[in-house]
Amino acid sequence: MDLSKRATAEFFGTFWLVFGGCGSAVLAAAFPNLGIGFVGVALAFGLTVLTMAFAIGHVSGCHLNPAVSIGLVTARRFPISELPAYIVAQVVGAVAGAGVLYLIASGKPGFSLAAGFASNGYADHSPGGYSLIACFVAEVVLTAFFLLVILGSTDERAPKGFAPIAIGLCLTLIHLISIPVTNTSVNPARSTGPAIFVGGWALSQLWLFWLAPILGAILGGLISTAFFAAPQPTLREEMSRDKP
C-alpha cells in the first residue's frame, strides 16, 4: 500500500492512542466519587492499541510509536527508508489527539494544566517522586520488553490473529507497573503530545521520554533478532529454491 496511506493510518492510530489513553487519565481517572484510577487508565491505553491493531494493523502495521518503528527497523522488520514518514505521522497524530483532548478538558470550570495533563516526568514531576535514574531504567526496560512481545506475537511462527490482544495486554501491564514512576511513556509521540500543551517542565524533561524508549526499543529489537527470530534460509537454500 502507498506510504502516504500508511502514514495517514499511523496519524489516526496515534491520535486515538493519545486521545483515549491520556483522555482517560485527564477526564476520568479521578472523576468525583467514581474515578477509574490507575487500573482504568492502564486498561484504556491497552484498549487503544488493541482496537487500532484490528482497525489499521493490516494497513500500516499499527506502530503508533516512534520507538516501536525504530525497534522494528533494528529487528529488520521495517524498512529504514519509511521511518521518517511514520515518525512524523505519529508525532503529529499525538499532538492532534492532545489538542482535541485539551479542547474538551478545558470546557470544565476550574481546569488547569498545572495538574500535568497526563504528561510524563521524573523527580519532582514523577507521580511517585522517582529519581531520573529510576525513571530512565524503567522506561528502557519496559520498552525493551514491549518490543519483545510485539516481535514475538507477530512472528510468522506465532498463532495467527492474537497479536493485537497480546500487545494490548502488554501495554496495559506496562502501565500498571509504571504509572507511579513516570506516568508511563514507552512512546515518544505519546509524551510529546501533552508536553506541547503543558510546556515548561514537561518540555524540559521530554528528552528522557525520547531517549529511554528508543534505547529500550533498540535493545528489544537486538535481543529478539539474536535469540528469538525465525531462522533465515542459507544462501544455498535460497539458490535451490530459485532453481526451476
How does pLDDT run across 130-174, given as a tens digit for each residue?
Answer: 999 999 999 999 999 999 999 999 999 999 999 999 999 999 999
DSSP the chain: --HHHHHHHHHHHHHHHIIIIIHIIIIITT-SS---HHHHHHHHHHHHHHHHHHHHHHHH----SHHHHHHHHHTTSS-GGGHHHHHHHHHHHHHHHHHHHHHHHTTSTT--GGG-TT----GGGSTT---HHHHHHHHHHHHHHHHHHHHHHTSTTSPTT-HHHHHHHHHHHHHHHHHHHHS--S-HHHHHHHHHHH-HHHHHTTTHHHHHHHHHHHHHHHHIIIIISPPPPPHHHHHHHH--
- What are 61's three cell numbers? 502495521
Closest residue by Cα to residue 12 from 71, 66, 92, 105: 92
**Angle, helix 3-17 to helix 188-198, in steps of 10 degrees:** 60
What number is the average pLDDT over the span 10-35?
Answer: 92
Say if CB 184 and CB 109 are below 8 A apart: no
Q: Among positive and negative, which fits the CA dihedral 84, 69, 171, 215? A: negative
Q: Which amino acid is at 147?
A: L
Which amino acid appears at position 216 of this protein?
A: G
Q: Which residue has the higher pLDDT, 32 or 49?
A: 49
Provide the pLDDT for residue 104.
97
Q: Determine the pLDDT at residue 235.
A: 42
Q: Report the range of poorest mean pLDDT among 25-39, 63-77, 138-152.
A: 25-39
CB of 135 closer than 8 Å to CB of 181: yes
Give the span between the Cα atoms of 229 and 157, in whole angstroms: 10
Angstrom distance (rounded) from CA 193 to CA 226: 34
Dihedral of alpha carbons 168, 171, 176, 177, sign: positive
> What one-letter code names the amino acid at 94?
A
pLDDT digits (tens, 9 = 90+) for 192-243: 999 999 999 999 999 999 999 999 999 999 999 999 887 655 445 444 555 5
Span 83-134, pLDDT tens digits: 999 999 999 999 999 999 999 999 999 899 998 999 999 999 999 999 999 9
Task: Read off the pTM.
Answer: 0.92
User: What distance lies between CA 201 and its chain's CA centroid?
Assistant: 21
Which pLDDT value is given to residue 230? 74
How confident is the model at residue 239, as a pLDDT? 47
